């Protein structure tokens, strides 16, 4: 636990379009330690999914990395080229189609995509796709791969896994498809699992089952998880460390208890106040965040949140961009309410 499994430092991912440059990820920094669950939360369009696609080096063109480091420490094998003295490899320097990056994807770092229906091939059986993923990273026979795939399907709670191996994705319910996708992600026992809003397209009952399943698998496999969602309730249930993003930047990060019980950034407080609780007064409107996320081609100067902030300070927030700085022992906040403009 002394060294992070993944260290993202000042990551920048921009989309260069004819109309202008979209700064989807603009200087994101966070760490993921072994066995830790890191939740990344924010409104739609804040750059959550692009951040994890950058880590996996699967950002579609015209998007590209424009700066920063993504230091990953392989847990399964050595022998990677470009390893630093501390055993880390910078994913930003690897060829996204190269042998090393392909070896890391699936084996060391696995992804549960947002929509499993669009991720499974509709013309191949679930079993064939699981076996292909396993044999791509492990030198085992097809029969052994079949047995391992059945074990993974059973582990994630798929009933009659031997029969489901011969089914196509469109023959399964949404909950079973999600479980099959989790089985594929776990097929090679990754050290880091990235879950990109895995409960978005399923009903509430199945959502609770999937969250319980992921929590149990994380404990049994001792793997780290990056959990992407806009649902703060899910983050409260799953995450140890929370990263709050807005317009491609980190507004605040810290332990989940501190973020929920002692939020320091106005944006974090506004998000939490907009959630209904059992103590909310009846027949009253929930607080909302005024305005909307700015157009990507018309980003405000200074702090990206200042046009919607109720604690906006003229001459500071609209002129300078606050850096992510520590507050106390564990929290980090990007806000001039907590550090002077001169500190920039």
16-31 pLDDT, tens per residue? 998 889 999 999 999 9
Which of the two residues, 114 and 5, has the higher pLDDT score?
5
Per-residue model confidence (pLDDT) at position 172: 87
Q: Is the pTM of this model over 0.85?
A: yes
Per-residue model confidence (pLDDT) at position 341: 64
Per-residue model confidence (pLDDT) at position 1: 52
Cis omega (within 30 of 0) on the bond before 266?
no
Per-residue model confidence (pLDDT) at position 316: 87
d(CA 183, CA 175) in angstroms, rounded, equals 12
Q: What is the average per-residue pLDDT within 107-118?
A: 83
DSSP 176-244: HHHHHHHHHHHTT--SEEEEESTTTTS-HHHHHHHHHHHHHHHHHHT-EEEEEES-HHHHHHH-SEEEE
């Amino acid at each position: 636990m002394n060294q992070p499994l993944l260290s993202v430092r000042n990551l920048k991912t921009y989309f260069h379009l004819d109309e202008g440059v979209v700064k989807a990820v603009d200087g994101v920094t966070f760490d993921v330690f072994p066995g830790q669950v890191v939740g990344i939360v924010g409104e739609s369009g804040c750059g959550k999914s692009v951040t994890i696609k950058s880590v996996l080096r699967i950002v579609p063109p015209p998007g590209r990395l424009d700066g920063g480091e993504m230091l990953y420490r392989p847990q399964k094998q050595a022998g990677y080229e470009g390893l630093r003295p501390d055993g880390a490899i910078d994913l930003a320097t690897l060829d996204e189609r190269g042998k090393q990056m392909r070896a890391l994807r699936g084996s060391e770092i696995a992804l549960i995509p947002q929509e499993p229906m669009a991720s499974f091939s509709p013309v191949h059986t679930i079993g064939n796709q699981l076996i292909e993923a396993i044999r791509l990273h492990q030198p085992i026979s097809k029969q052994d791969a079949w047995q391992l795939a059945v074990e993974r399907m059973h582990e994630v709670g798929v009933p009659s896994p031997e029969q489901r191996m011969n089914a196509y994705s469109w023959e399964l319910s949404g909950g079973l498809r999600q479980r099959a996708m989790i089985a594929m992600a776990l097929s090679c026992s990754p050290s880091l699992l990235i879950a990109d809003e895995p409960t978005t397209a399923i009903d509430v009952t199945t959502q609770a089952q999937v969250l319980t399943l992921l929590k149990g698998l994380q404990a049994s496999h001792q793997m780290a998880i990056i959990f992407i969602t806009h649902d703060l309730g899910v983050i409260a249930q799953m995450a140890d460390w929370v990263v709050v993003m807005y317009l491609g930047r980190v507004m605040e990060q810290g332990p989940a208890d501190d973020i929920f019980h002692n939020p320091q950034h106005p944006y974090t407080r506004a998000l939490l106040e907009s959630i209904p609780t059992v103590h909310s007064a009846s027949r009253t409107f929930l607080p909302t965040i005024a305005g909307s996320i700015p157009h990507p081609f018309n980003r405000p100067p200074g702090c990206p949140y200042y046009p919607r902030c109720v604690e906006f300070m003229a001459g500071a927030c609209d002129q300078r961009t606050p850096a992510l700085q520590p507050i106390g022992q564990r929290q980090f906040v990007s806000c001039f309410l907590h550090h002077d403009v001169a500190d920039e």
